[in-house]
Amino acid sequence: MNREQLLNAIGNVDESMIDEMEQLRRSAKVVTLPSQTENASPVAKKRSRRFVVCLVACLVLALGGIAYAAASLLSGGDLTVRDMPQDELDEIINNIGGVSMRWGDESAPADLPVPAVGVKIQYTVPQDLRIPYTSFTGNVLNCAAEFDEHNCSFVEDPDGGNYSLFSFDKKNLPSVDAGKQYIGYAGLKFPTVSLPQNDVSVEVYGTRTQNGETVNDEIRRIYLSASFNNVQQDIPSETYRGIFYLHTSARLLTENYPWGPEDVSAVDMSALFAEGAQVTSQTEDRIAANREFRVVTLTFTFPDEHSDGTTLPVCHRYVFWQENNVVYTLSIYYAPESVAVADSLISEWMNGFAD
């Protein structure tokens, strides 16, 4: 077989696919195909032409307005949300403890199914987000000498499979400003919220070892994270009502990251292991500080009391944004009744990006 034969074979693919393509190209005006019902009289054509001219004029005005508004609004990446199939959930269950996850019943047979529901969220930024080394002026690039290797992180490879990165370590820092200084990237913003700050850390992944062998000390991915919650306040712990767990992170890729043009910016999973649990998801765009943020809200419902003593439902909301090649994520847990407070915290964070 050679390329010509391959091209010939592509030319003889099933016609239904060519038909599908024609619809697509026609809608994109790559080709002009007449409609099946084209048979208008000259008078009707003349009248319809006048109508079309008016319509086009109206559309031009309307689209001009939209384009003007859109041009002044910064936009982020694309968000996809899907239910996780049972086999993916099973893999998570096995990864996070297998039998011990079966409600603490160590005597339970290993193959006893764990009831679970879950959703996978993917935020994709279709552009190269890698940042040159020279743009990092903090000590972060020397962290390989500072830390021992520690964890291994698996990153979803756009070509399929997993790509592994080794973490040099997680460095705890006293404040967000200290974290920003440690990284030293001028484009990094990191808004905070009015909740007690729990911790701030910088996590660095690279290629210090691969397959047990030292390769080099390339820094490939850097996270700045901060978590906030108000659990120390005197709020009944049997419910999430009034309690907020909020986590924010900024992710930066260096020039040594293996891919960039189609960037899977954040892959997150939220799962609930509970008998009879259900999850629904809702996505929306929110505008603040002249930016269009992607938001997804998961609502978990559960017929009985949860094993940790909390009562459900509980909501888990994620907000995504990308700016100056940095991908930002906020996630917050809250009870549905507390949505107004959760929203005000999210707005505070989003408005923190204002120039």
Partner 1 sequence: MTDSEIVMLYRNRDEEALRETMRRYQPYLMKTALQILGDEQDAEECVNDTYYAAWNSIPEHDPVNLPAYLAKIAREKAIDRLRYRQRQKRIGAEYAVSFEELGDVIADTDGAESEADAARLSEAISQFLKGLPPDARHLFLGRYFYFDSLKDTASYCGMSESKAKSMLHRTRRKLKKFLKKEGFYE
Q: Which residues bind partner 1 (CB under 8 A)?
A: 1-22, 24-25, 27-28, 30-34, 36, 39, 126-128, 158-160, 259, 261-262
32 or 41: whose CB is closer to partner 1? 32
Specify the residue, 161 or 309, whose C-beta has the smaller distance to partner 1: 161
**Nearer CB in complex with partner 1: 6/58:** 6
Q: Would you say 33 or 287 has its CB closer to partner 1? A: 33
Which residues pair with residue 319 across a beta bridge? 295, 330
Where b means 16+ CB within 10 Å and e means fewer, 166-181 reads bbbbebebeebeebbe
Q: What is the DSSP string of 280-304?
A: EEEEEEEEETTEEEEEEEEEEE-SS
CB of 121 within 8 A of CB of 268?
Answer: yes
Minimal distance, residue 27 CB to partner 1, in Å: 8
Q: Is 71 helix (H, G, I), strand (E, B) or coil?
A: helix
Alpha helices in 105-197 (DSSP H): 143-146, 176-183
The dihedral through the CA atoms of 233, 238, 240, 241 has a sign that is negative
Alpha-helix residue ranges (DSSP H) falling in 125-175: 143-146
Sheet holding 117-125, edge to edge: 78-83, 117-125, 263-272
Residue 323 Cβ vs partner 1, minimum distance, rounded to whole Å: 17
Q: How far is the CB of 36 from partner 1 (least distance, A)?
A: 5
Q: How far is the CB of 49 from partner 1 (least distance, A)?
A: 19
Q: How far is the CB of 161 from partner 1 (least distance, A)?
A: 12
At its nearest, how many Å lie between partner 1 and the CB of residue 155? 16
With respect to partner 1, which residue has the nearer C-beta, 9 or 339?
9
Output DSSP code: residue 211. Answer: T
Report the nearest approach of partner 1 to the CB of residue 37 (Å): 8
In the complex with partner 1, the residue whose CB is nearer, 15 or 355, is 15
Question: Which CB atom, from 24 or from 73, has the smaller least distance to partner 1?
Answer: 24
Output the CA torsion sign for 7, 9, 15, 20: negative
